[in-house]
Homo-oligomer: A and B are copies of this chain.
Amino acid sequence: MSQPRVLIQLDSDPHPSVFDAVVAVDAGVEHLLQYSSITPGNVQALVHGAIFTRGPDQLKNTAIFVGGSDVAVGDCTGQEIKRIFFGPIRVSVMLDGNGSNTTAAAAVLCVARHLPLEQVNALILGSTGPVGQRVARLLLCQGASVCLASRDNHRAQELCDSLIERFGEGWSARISTASSGDASSLHSSLDGKNVVMSCGAAGIQLLPDKILNSNPSLCVAIDLNAVPPSGIEGIGATDRAVARGKRLDYGAIGVGGLKMKIHREALQLLFSRNDLFLDAEQILEIGKNIESALKS
């Protein structure tokens, strides 16, 4: 007999995300255990509780979701959880702090609808934020070229260095950095790009439409900011492959439908076996399968 599907929501915030909880319920989780203020330092007893209660054949019915607005803490918590597992005595884990992995995967797959990813030459605005970092990582591992833009060029360079350090020198030829602080540098960093994606914090417009529309090479523009003002001027939150000239535009809600599908599908997969560890790359693969299934 199958034991109920239990999801342990480990959230870095004082109040665990309602969003993540409702998606979990909609993905078929039967019992959701919500935990707040989770850090790598207080997760051990919780992980032991997850892995030592059920027999090996039922471990796949327990899973862990790591979320919360502090994505860096969530990433460290994820690594700590892996360390605590005892070989095969483990449960499946999904990392998606602030929806960053599912959002980045969905955005990259929206690009892939229109361009082979290895031909992508993207400018990423707000690239040092949680979603921006993941978009860069996913595009690079798919063979794209990426320019990491930030209003603080120093932070873009740090991200660039850490990506090369983590994923190898092979990436260095395809990464560059740019400052997005003023109009002329924005203009020149957009030169020759076929994709621009805005991943900055809410409330800040990163790209005025005058600069956007003066660029002849852009095929796809994506703005991931759901709350006005949009990060890229002129893109509506609900835009979904809206043609403006030869450019196709996506807004946050336009990307959101696919994001939700990926989020739900990833949660359901967690309960198919007990040894999945779903970080950005694995979540992108889940999204690819969803896109393939939709096409066929």
Say yes or no: B3 contacts A19, CB within 8 Å.
Answer: no
Residue of B nearest to A53 (CB): B22
Cα separation A18 to B38 with both chains bound (whole Å): 13
A143 to chain B, nearest CB (A): 33
Q: Which of A33, A35, A42, A260 has the most chain B CB atoms inside 10 A of its CB?
A: A33
Say yes or no: B6 contacts A49, CB within 8 Å.
Answer: no
Q: Is A62 an interface residue (CB 8 A)?
A: yes
A34 CB contacts on chain B under 8 angstroms? 33-34
Q: Is A167 an interface residue (CB 8 A)?
A: no
Q: Which of A2-20 contact B (CB under 8 A)?
A: 3-4, 6, 8, 13-15, 17-20
A234 to chain B, nearest CB (A): 21
Which segment, of A23-31, A145-153, A265-273, A279-287, faces chain B?
Answer: A23-31
Say yes or no: A25 contacts B31, CB within 8 Å.
Answer: yes
B-contact 0/1 string along A196-236, CB 8 Å cutoff? 00000000000000000000000000000010000000000
Say yes or no: B4 contacts A49, CB within 8 Å.
Answer: no
Given A3-B26, A23-B53, A53-B23, is A46 in contact with B15 using a C-beta cutoff of 8 Å? yes
Residue of B nearest to A22 (CB): B53
A6 CB contacts on chain B under 8 angstroms? 21-22, 25
A26 CB contacts on chain B under 8 angstroms? 3-4, 53-54
B-contact 0/1 string along A44-57, CB 8 Å cutoff? 01111110111000
> Would you call the interface of chain A mostly helix, strand, loop, or mixed?
mixed
Q: Is A164 an interface residue (CB 8 A)?
A: no
Given A31-B32, A33-B34, is A42 in contact with B15 using a C-beta cutoff of 8 Å? yes
A17 CB contacts on chain B under 8 angstroms? 45, 49
A47 CB contacts on chain B under 8 angstroms? 18
Say yes or no: A19 contacts B48, CB within 8 Å.
Answer: yes
Given contacts A15-B38, A52-B226, 10 further A-B contacts (CB under 8 A): A4-B25, A4-B26, A15-B45, A15-B46, A18-B33, A18-B50, A18-B53, A21-B31, A22-B50, A23-B53
Between-chain CB contacts (< 8 Å), 23 pairs? A3-B26, A4-B26, A6-B22, A6-B25, A13-B45, A15-B38, A15-B42, A18-B33, A18-B46, A18-B48, A18-B49, A18-B53, A19-B52, A20-B49, A21-B33, A22-B50, A22-B62, A25-B31, A26-B53, A26-B54, A31-B32, A33-B34, A52-B226
